[in-house]
Amino acid sequence: MVRLVLVLGDQLTDSLSALQQADKNTDVVVMAEVAAEAEYVPHHPKKIAFLFAAMRKFAAHLRAEGWQVAYTKLGDLENAGSIPAELLRRAQDYGARSVLATEPGEWRLIHALQDVPLTMTLLPDDRFLATHKEFEVWAEGRKALRMEYFYRDMRRKTRLLMDGDEPVGGKWNFDHDNRKPAKPDMFRAGPPKIEVDPILAEVLELVAARFPDNFGTLHPFQFHTDRAGALHALEHFVTQSLPDFGAYQDAMIEGDPYLYHAVIGLYLNAGLLTPLEVCKRVEQAYLDGQAPLNSVEGFIRQIIGWREFVRGVYFLEGPDYPRRNALNHQRKLPAFYWGAETRMNCISQAVGQTRDLAYAHHIQRLMVTGNFALLAGVNPAQVHEWYLAVYADAYEWVEAPNVVGMSQFADGGVVGSKPYVSSGAYIDRMSDYCKSCHYKVKDKTGESACPFNLLYWHFLIRHRDRFEGNPRMAQMYRTFDRMDEGRRKTVLADADAFLDRMSKGALV
Ligand code: FAD
Ligand code: DLZ
Ligand code: SF4
């Protein structure tokens, strides 16, 4: 009897466990562009176009490899609208009663598949380095989960940058050589250009017609949409940007969205690249003397450390994780996250490039848009939905721990030991945004004061009970307490007035 093999939009990998265990001669691969997936948040049009074009090309690739593929386009009249409904329709078409699938990266879809009235086999997603079990065993009995220790285990497991049992260079982490501010006039190649082929052109037309109101510009479209393109992007990064990746990974420059970042997160997460092949290529660049250890180690840590760690947390913590709100933040997400005008240049730059490119790099996500939402006390569920919608690399397993955990501290400290909050001084040090801002980063009170300066104290005082005892935050409270009483009152009153104006929709 025919068996269906489900391949989801972020499972575009030849070595996918479901494909490995399936039989080309008898099984039918099911792939479907469906409204339910395209609409669970208002995804950026570029994200939808990237995924649909990549899905169509992967289906063509599978057919060329001898697979029978039942592919449903979004506009097909018989499209049943969701993954479960498409499976049932195809099961009827082919007389199939069972489905082989690789576990989806989201609880919502795992539960939906488990409810499908067909015999469902969910295989582990072995494109990741750590299994759920391995992460559980690692996490068990630990007072706190800290990425750095998990990362060392992943280094040992993969043998990446290892010299026997010791890390190459004698240290696990070279971050003290990193985190430099960049200068606007340095050379940066950015990601390689793409050609719009007929499959992509058709998808771009479909997306423009079906999602005209979604936040984000579709043209010019800049992402690769197949494995060859993704490999090209990786090679381009390794030869052009990797050497400076480490030193400038936290820098932000107006008008330069990419700096020395790889811009491969979307390819990794859709399955067009695998984490181990990326890390091995990067390690090779070090062994060949093409890139320094601080860059190579820092980059590999992001992938075998952070990427694997956040996935472990997502599955360990369970389906309620994205809805957590440990700090009880209830403010509505301001309209300027969806493109309304703001006088804060850093926010305007980060949101503007997000709108245009479906991309912002880590520090923009963490220390600009994330930092502001946390300081202002925005409801983390709304922040989560925004990030899930607007970035081309966003899927819940990776987005939620980064947003709900790392950026909003809404998990109460599972991902991070303290909240990532900073005043405007950090943004000023790491970027050139403040130079052309309406607000003055040096002003701590008054109309012209940088809102990050005001809200920083407001946040700390709002949550004094929770954070004062944290040894890594005690110094901040001492600094506040040393201010004279009048100044303390003014800062907090100015912050309240700012939040009030913002929540009433005034231009801030
Ligand atoms: P580079 O800076 O060049 O890094 C290389 C790779 O390392 C990335 O492609 C990614 O695969 C991996 N990586 C780096 N940091 C992380 C991290 N914290 N978690 C997981 N992987 C990491 N990453 C996503 O893939 N999807 C998301 O939805 C996402 N949302 C984020 C939300 C917030 C608030 C923050 C602070 C970070 C988020 N990240 C997310 C992590 C990181 O910002 C992106 O992976 C990175 O910006 C992608 O761009 P790049 O490929 O140029 O990455
Ligand atoms: C993100 C996404 C979108 C926009 N559309 C589809 C789709 O039409 N069909 C599909 O199979 N997958 C899509 N995806 C990816 C899924 O949402 C993703 O598999 C889950 O979020 C699990 O990570
Ligand atoms: Fe952002 Fe404040 Fe700098 Fe303006 S002054 S760019 S609001 S940090």
Nearest CA to ligand 3 atom 5: 441
Q: Determine the distance from the C-alpha atom of residue 306 to the mean position of all C-alpha atoms in its chain, rounded to a whole number.
A: 11
For residue 401, is pLDDT > 80?
Answer: yes
Q: Output the CA 252–ligand 1 centroid distance in Å.
A: 15
Determine the residue of 314, 402, 404, 414 to mutate for testing ligand 1's pocket, defined as the one with the most ligand atoms within 8 A of the Cβ atom.
402
Angle between helices 485-503 and 451-462 (to 10 degrees): 100
Burial string for 401-438 (b: 16+ CB within 10 Å, else e) reads bbbbbbbbbbbeebbbeebebbbbebbbebbbbbeebe
The Cα 230–Cα 55 span in angstroms is: 14
Nearest CA to ligand 3 atom 7: 344
Helix or strand run (H / E) with residue 22: none
Residue 340 CB partners (closer than 8 Å, separation 6+): 334
Nearest CA to ligand 3 atom 1: 346
Q: Kindly report the number of other CB atoms within 10 A of residue 85's CB atom.
A: 16
The sign of the torsion formed by the CA atoms of 226, 228, 234, 240 equals negative
- The answer to whether the CB of 327 falls within 8 A of the CB of 409 is yes
Omega of the bond prior to 257 within 30 degrees of 0, cis? no
- The answer to whether the CB of 158 falls within 8 A of the CB of 129 is yes
Determine the residue of 33, 51, 72, 108 to mutate for testing ligand 2's pocket, defined as the one with the most ligand atoms within 8 A of the Cβ atom.
51
pLDDT reported for residue 187: 77
Nearest CA to ligand 3 atom 8: 424
The average pLDDT across 470-492 equals: 95
The average pLDDT across 108-137 equals: 97
The average pLDDT across 385-404 equals: 98
pLDDT reported for residue 229: 97
The Cα 207–Cα 56 span in angstroms is: 14
The average pLDDT across 144-149 equals: 93
Which of the ligands is closest to the CA of residue 113? 2
List, chain by chain if needed, residues with CB within 6 Å of any ligand 3 atom.
Answer: 344-346, 424, 427-428, 433-434, 437, 439, 441, 450-452
For residue 177, is pLDDT > 80?
Answer: no
The Cα 409–Cα 325 span in angstroms is: 8
- The answer to whether the CB of 90 falls within 8 A of the CB of 119 is no
The Cα 374–Cα 287 span in angstroms is: 41
Instruction: Decide: helix, strand or coil at residue 256.
Output: strand
Pick from 266, 203, 201: nearest CA to 229: 266
Q: Kindly report the number of other CB atoms within 10 A of residue 158's CB atom.
A: 18
The Cα 501–Cα 508 span in angstroms is: 7
Per-residue HEC secondary structure of 205-231 comes to HHHHHHCCCCCCCCCCCCCCCCHHHHH
Nearest CA to ligand 1 atom 14: 302
Q: Output the CA 508–ligand 3 centroid distance in Å.
A: 12
The average pLDDT across 165-183 equals: 89
Q: Output the CA 49–ligand 3 centroid distance in Å.
A: 33
Instruction: Decide: helix, strand or coil at residue 154.
Output: helix
Q: Output the CA 96–ligand 1 centroid distance in Å.
A: 39
Q: Strands (DSSP E) along 112-186, which ranges?
A: 119-123, 162-163, 166-167
List, chain by chain if needed, residues with CB within 6 Å of any ligand 2 atom.
Answer: 8-10, 32-34, 37-38, 43, 48, 51, 83, 104-106, 109, 395
pLDDT reported for residue 91: 98
Q: Output the CA 37–ligand 2 centroid distance in Å.
A: 5
pLDDT reported for residue 176: 83
The Cα 106–Cα 448 span in angstroms is: 44
Q: Kindly report the number of other CB atoms within 10 A of residue 151's CB atom.
A: 20
The Cα 323–Cα 410 span in angstroms is: 8
The average pLDDT across 221-229 equals: 97
The average pLDDT across 10-24 equals: 98
- Please give the angle made by the CA atoms of 201, 18 and 232, to the nearest 5 degrees: 40
Does ligand 1 lie within 6 Å of residue 378's CB atom?
A: no
For residue 184, is pLDDT > 80?
Answer: no
Determine the residue of 343, 436, 437, 502 to mutate for testing ligand 3's pocket, defined as the one with the most ligand atoms within 8 A of the Cβ atom.
437
The sign of the torsion formed by the CA atoms of 28, 33, 35, 39 equals positive
For residue 185, is pLDDT > 90?
Answer: no
For residue 336, is pLDDT > 80?
Answer: yes
pLDDT digits (tens, 9 = 90+) for 259-313: 999 999 999 999 999 999 999 999 999 999 999 999 999 999 999 999 999 999 9
pLDDT reported for residue 447: 93
For residue 186, is pLDDT > 80?
Answer: no
Q: Output the CA 398–ligand 1 centroid distance in Å.
A: 8
Does ligand 1 lie within 6 Å of residue 234's CB atom?
A: no
The average pLDDT across 135-154 equals: 95
Does ligand 1 lie within 6 Å of residue 387's CB atom?
A: yes
